[in-house]
Structure 1
Amino acid sequence: MTTSTALADHPTDDVLPDLDAAREHVAARALRPATTGPIGLELEAHLVDLASPGTRVPWHRVTAAVATLPPLDGGSRVTLEPGGQVELSGPPAADVTAAVTALRADLAAVRSRLGAGGLGLAPIGTDPCRPAHRVNPGPRYVAMEEHFRAAGHRAAGVAMMTCTAALQVNLEAGAPADWAARVRLATALGPVLVAVSACSPLLAGAETGWRSGRQRIWAQLDPGRCGPLPGGADPADEWAAFAMAAPVMLVRGPAGDAVPVRGRTSFDEWVRGAGPTDRRPTVADLDYHLTTLFPPVRLRGYLELRYLDAAPEPWWPALAAVAGTLLDDPVAADTAAAAVEPVADRWEPAARAGLADRELHTAAVTCLEVAADRAPAGLRAQVEALVELVGRRASPGDALLHTARTDGPAAALLAAAHDTEEGT
């Protein structure tokens, strides 16, 4: 890949001169050389009224509760999603053990503070009982909902925004010579780890028939925005091509607010003069466009793994350790690459059947066993528990489903909100 520096130091309000410059701007920032090992974690959780779990927490109460949070010792940043979900984004840590330790401590602190106000956090892939409904009035989310409506994806779009929660694992890109294989493996692991992490069998009070209803929701959205990268020889150029072909969702209005795009216009069409507005796109417009793209592995200078369901203890720490080990440990990576090659495109079976799919289960067992053997000592017990779960073709969502069938979906949400490390 030949990287242009034409736009490297330009102000973000500079107009993009042509399509080549736009592509080079994206490709130059897709991946940056870095030693593997450091890791960042982000965990989303549904906010629950412990006295009335079937009712979505109103926005004024959400913001009032979060406003009381002190700075967190682990350095996590707390943000709010469209449905009132709470996201903890930890800073990069030296390794996965340190990342899990810090995020776990911050999660406990947030739970304790919110619990004093009668609220709980449920880290599970989908909200099992409450209908999809946006409570966050942020202009970006209002505009996103309008875009999905105009594009014919409103139901899936609102469900994605308000009823899903994920564990996101952020890994360094590694050496440039390894980028193609590394991005290919990160993407190919997706179906196996979707099946392993599956913790979203219910939505809006009903069983969906899917082990990962969260992944199903993402699959119902535009593949030009949410589909996987091809996995070829130059991931940076592929990311740039993906970004240019993807439909524009939002543009900045005169006051800097988000304005929805109601027609289907790709970014490269905008650069060529047939865009959603009369003005030409700028560097800032392109950077904003990148924030609206959601492939399973997003390139942000590092690798952002977006396909894991949020799950309660001990599963989210185990999943973080497995993902980090399978990509950052050379022995584990080689074993995983061979194991997942036959199932690298089985996204739908992974979401629908999970580990009941024979080929996915075979690949998962191989990956989990090598991960357990190579995982850091501080997280090996959690990974071994996940190995045992996978061996039974089970997933983290099975306990949720059992509670829902016994006591109802609201009880399942409440149980997840009461879950703690000590109580697992």
Structure 2
Amino acid sequence: MELEDGRTTGRPRTDPRSLPTGPDLEGVGPVAPVTEQRTVVLDLEAAVAHVADAALRPDPVGPVGLELEAHLVDLDAPASRVPWQRIRDLVDALPALPGGSRVTLEPGGQVELSGPPCTDVAAAVAALRADRDVLAAALAAERLAVAPVGADPLRPPARVCPAPRYAAMEEHFAAVGCAEAGTAMMAGTAALQVNLDAGPCAGWSERVALAHQLGPTLVAVAACSPLAAGRPTGWVSHRQRVWSDLDQARCGPLLGGADPAGEWAAYALAAPVMLVRDPDGGAAPVGERVSFAEWVTGEVPLGGRVPSAADLDYHLTTLFPPVRPRGYLEIRYLDAAPEPWWPALAAVTTVLLDDPVAAGHAAAATLPVATAWDRAARAGLADPALHAAARACLAAACAAVPAALRPEVEALADLVDRGRCPGDALLGTARAGGPTAALLSATGAPR
């Protein structure tokens, strides 16, 4: 998922039935007033400890949670965004899904399936596929469909969700000079997120570092957003380009040091405050760059008060590094992609981190391109070094992937061998029939 108010689903070691349902998950419903949250006043030392202590939990590797976003399309009017109330009415009428996913919504009307934690990636994919089929049938009855691609190939980004949180976020992005990228991120992109347990404490540094190091290579492999707002962008992953155009103090990668929990705490305290919640549960945008550390020390007062632990927890939900520690690891850098690519991408990402042999091969292969985020987003597998790293990673993954997902991963390996990515088909359709045809083809819906 790209955005949330901190109460996510689809994560390891959590029973999703214990989490709030409906629009609160995505910040589009009522938010509990600050007075109902923890109001413990913080000093700087306590703030650092608060973030570091919650960053990672020692759990065995294995469980997997998946979240898949997609652009909602009216099959009879694909150039128009679906009105918010129509989306809400449809989602509210959905039955419980067989795989346990929750259906939530993003600011541009994107629909997200957030699956519960499963024992392994094959089970997670099977559950999400079952839920996707139920959702697709419900949408089809209303002449709607979803297009799981990294960026909307046809419609300019536009927020349809009226939630105050997202209006305030737009104001903040405009105030700090990245209004266009902020709106595009919220309303024009879609991702596949893979959530994995942190593993034993002794391996945290290596595991978090590898999750970041894999990023550029997997961005190139997953690239499925060569079009945006009706035209080719010149980038294979426009979605990743959008994230790189945002404030890197909020969206840039961690450095992969020896103490990832401490590094996350330092990152969070240095990041600028985006929103300050008021006693009624609203959120006021911060129109200047004020780090949370400056707020907590009183150097720059915000909202006429000092921050509490609840304010710090809320601040953490506005930070979007490509790998985010949430007790577990959120892998956030993959474009959404249609079948069979998203199951293959989920499987590859998981085995390259969880299987020791595959992880060793991936670490060696990706080291030369560990920081090539922009090259990956622009050129993808046309970059020789990224192509070499990707081929090695796919070979390692094919040897370790669960049998149930081997056909999908082998198909992805073949695609990578040919120097191609999931977005190439989308671009080819657009060249033959225009961006409307590209968007409709991504839905897989009969027309």
Q: Is the 8 A contact 1:315 1:396 kept in 2?
A: yes
1:371 partnered with 2:397: yes
- Name the residue aligned to 1:261: 286
**Match status 1:244 vs 2:269:** yes
Q: What's the CA shift string for 1:226-260, capped at 9, x where partnerless? A: 00001010000000000000000011112111111
Alpha-carbon distance between aligned partners in 1 of 2:357 and 2:168, rounded to the nearest angstrom: 45
Give the equivalent residue in structure 2 for 1:94: 119
2:287 aligned with 1:234:
no
Determine which of 212, 220, 226 is the counterpart of 1:195. Answer: 220
Q: Are the aligned partners of 2:145 and 2:445 in contact in 1 as well (CA < 8 Å)?
A: no
1:40 aligns with 2:65: yes
SS of match in other structure, 2:68: strand
Matched with 1:205 is: 230
The separation in 2 between residues aligned to 1:15 and 1:392, in whole angstroms, is 56
Code of the aligned partner of 2:436: A
Q: Secondary structure at the match of 2:276?
A: strand
For residue 291 of structure 1, what is the aligned residue in structure 2?
A: 317
Per-residue deviation, 1:275: 3.2
Matched to 1:286, the amino acid is: L
* 2:403 maps to amino acid: A
Kindly report which structure 2 residues correspond to 1:3-402, keeping only aligned pairs within 5 A, or say none: 12-16=38-42, 18-273=43-298, 274-402=300-428
CA–CA separation in structure 2 for the residues paired with 1:342 and 1:30: 28
Q: Which amino acid counterpart does residue 195 of structure 2 have in structure 1?
A: N
| 4+ aligned runs moved over 6 Å, structure 1 | none
Alignment partner, residue 7 of structure 1: none
Distance (Å, rounded) in 1 between the aligned partners of 2:112 and 2:273 = 25
Q: Is the 8 A contact 1:129 1:203 kept in 2?
A: yes
Between Structure 1 and Structure 2, how many residues are aligned? 409
Contact 2:106 2:186 survives alignment (8 Å): yes
Q: What CA distance in whole angstroms lies between the structure 1 residues aligned with 2:429 and 2:82? A: 22
Map Cα deviations across residues 245-281 of structure 1 (whole Å, 9 max, x no partner): 0000011112111111111100000011113222000
Q: Is the 8 A contact 2:205 2:258 kept in 1?
A: yes
Two-structure CA RMSD over aligned residues (Å): 0.9
Matched residues in 2 for 1:188 and 1:412: separation? 32
Aligned AA for 1:216?
Answer: R
Counterpart residue identity of residue 101, structure 1:
A
Compared CA separation, residues 191 and 419, structure 1 to 2 (3 A): farther
Amino acid at match of 1:143: A
CA distance in 2, matches of 1:280, 1:316: 44
Give, as a single letter, the amino acid of the residue that structure 1 aligns with 2:261: A
% identical equivalent positions:
65
Task: Output the CA distance in 1 between the equivalents of 2:301 and 2:249.
Answer: 17
Distance apart, 1:417 and its partner CA: 1.2
| Matches of 2:109 and 2:286, distance apart in 1 | 24
SS of the residue aligned with 2:334?
Answer: strand
Q: Judge conservation of contact 1:389–1:395 (CA < 8 Å) in 2.
A: yes
Letter in 1 for 2:207: R
Flag the 1:139–1:360 CA change in 2: closer, same or farther, 3 A.
Answer: same
Whether the 8 Å CA contact 2:278–2:303 is kept in 1: the answer is no
Normalising by the residue count of structure 2, what TM-score does the alignment of the two structures yield? 0.91
Structure 1 residue 303: Cα displacement? 0.5
State the alpha-carbon separation in 1 of the partners of residues 321 and 111 from structure 2: 22
Which sections of structure 2, spanning at least 5 residues, go unmatched? 1-36
Q: Give the whole-Å Cα distance in 2 for the aligned partners of 1:337 and 1:276.
A: 43
CA distance in 1, matches of 2:58, 2:250: 26
Q: 1:193-235 deviations in whole A, cap 9, x for unaligned? A: 0000000001100110000000000000000000000101000
- Gaps in structure 1 of 5+ consecutive residues: 1-10
Residue in structure 2 matched with residue 411 of structure 1 by the alignment: 437
Note if contact 2:352-2:358 (Cα within 8 Å) is conserved in structure 1: yes
Q: What whole-Å deviation, never above 9, does each CA across 1:262-306 have from its counterpart, x for those lacking one? A: 111000000111132220000000000000000000000001000
Structure 1 residues 32-41 or 253-262, which shifts more? 253-262
Partner Cα separation in structure 2 for residue 418 and residue 338 of structure 1: 37
Shift of 1:419: 5.5
